[in-house]
Amino acid sequence: MKIPSWHGYINDARPMSTWHWGKWLGHNKLASPVEMQSHVGSKTRQMEAKSKPPPPPPKPPSLSQRQRASHSAALSTPAGKRGVGWPWDNPATHFLLYNPYISAGKLTWLFNWELWRPEGTPAHMEWVPCVRTAAQAKDIDPFLTDITNNQGVLVKHFLGFNEPEHHDQANMSVDEAVRLWREAILPAKAKFGFRLGSPGMTSDVGQCKPWLTEFLQKLGRDGGIDFLVVHWYGPSFPAMRQYLEDMYHTYHLPLWVNEFACSTMGQGPARVEEVEQFLQQALPWLDACDWVERYAYFGIGQGKDVGDWVGRASNFTETAGGCEETDSRRLSRIGRLYCES
């Protein structure tokens, strides 16, 4: 899309990272919330009904016992933006459904809301760790040390706390998040050299922008954030685009949209045709937008189901006979559209 000429930061040749961060701290105040559809903000507060990551599962008995990835594969850099969210209970056999698109470069990365790499992750697919809650902060260094030293996996990106402003997700005060960021996350960035994503924020601007603005102000110029992580759920792609543009122009950081979906947010299920139309609008725009670095549609849920709140029309897989090697699942119409477009 064409960036308005008043936004001079985008035309600078320097990488968009903590350089923009200093600009934001020096010149920006909290922007007014975007004018979204009237029901979006209030319905986003109903996130407790959404299919979401569960309490942390038991840690693997020995991370270093997992198969070691080749260093050549770990050092390869995916060129594409498109990825997937991979819930902790998704079976490794389901990678068989996505392998053709991974090999073709259509899907280049995944995250699982956790600090351990999913079993069976293809060697040429980048895994991005996430410190989902405050309780996981103490695990960052030991888990990543084992994964890099004993499994040969190069950690190139890292995601901050998952929806800390939301009571049913990370549910953290700004002060707690700042303290743990300085104590655990910034030392890990210095040690492992990854690019660092902000805490993942909901699309309820009435909650997310006050929390994020206070967090960034208290964190200061040495916060180490290289990109902004955001989520969006709603039925309208124009509203999603408006939200993303607002977040970008407020904070002047490139975006990772690592959760988004066409959802009526519990107000009756979206139809497959509505999800198709949404993706047909969203995917070309996300691919073409130079300040959207990566994105992942929420099409894979716990128990192989994204649930009522997101809407089952968004499920990437469906039950199918004769598919024993993939747990009797095949890609759905929406799953094929996301992988093939």
Q: Please give the Cα distance from 162 to 183 (Å, whole number).
A: 18
Q: Sign (positive/negative) of CA torsion 319, 320, 321, 326? A: negative
CA dihedral 226, 298, 304, 171 (to 10 degrees): 60
Q: Which domains does the chain have, with CATH numbers?
A: 15-26+66-340 (3.20.20.80)
HSE-up of residue 194 (Cα within 13 Å, Cβ side): 28
Find residue 82's DSSP bridge partners.
Answer: 295
Q: Which of 95, 148, 144 is nearest to 122 (CA)?
A: 95
Query: Residue 189, Cβ neighbours under 10 Å: how many?
Result: 17
Q: Please give the Cα distance from 164 to 99 (Å, whole number).
A: 33
pLDDT value at residue 170: 79
Q: Which of 225, 232, 218, 302 is nearest to 265 (CA)?
A: 232
Mean pLDDT of 61-68: 46
pLDDT value at residue 49: 44
Q: Please give the Cα distance from 179 to 25 (Å, whole number).
A: 19
β-pairing, 157-158 vs 292-297, is: unpaired
pTM: 0.81
SS3 of residue 143 by DSSP: helix
Tokens of 290: 């130079």
Looking up tokens 């998952």 gives 162
Helix (H) / strand (E) element for 148: namely helix 140-151
Q: Please give the Cα distance from 86 to 164 (Å, whole number).
A: 20
- The residue with greater pLDDT, 20 or 79, is 79
Find residue 196's DSSP bridge partners.
Answer: 158
Q: What is the pLDDT of residues 184-220, one digit of tens each?
A: 999 999 999 999 999 999 999 999 999 999 999 999 9
Mean pLDDT of 276-293: 98
pLDDT at 247 over 80: yes
Mean pLDDT of 49-72: 45
pLDDT at 327 over 80: yes
Reported as a pLDDT band with limits 50, 70 and 90, residue 169 is confident
The pLDDT > 70 percentage for the chain reads 77
Looking up tokens 């070691």 gives 68
pLDDT value at residue 24: 54
| Sequential DSSP letters for 149-217 | HHH-----EEB--BSTTSTTTT---HHHHHHHIIIIIHHHHHHH--EEBPPBB-S-HHHHHHHHHHHHH
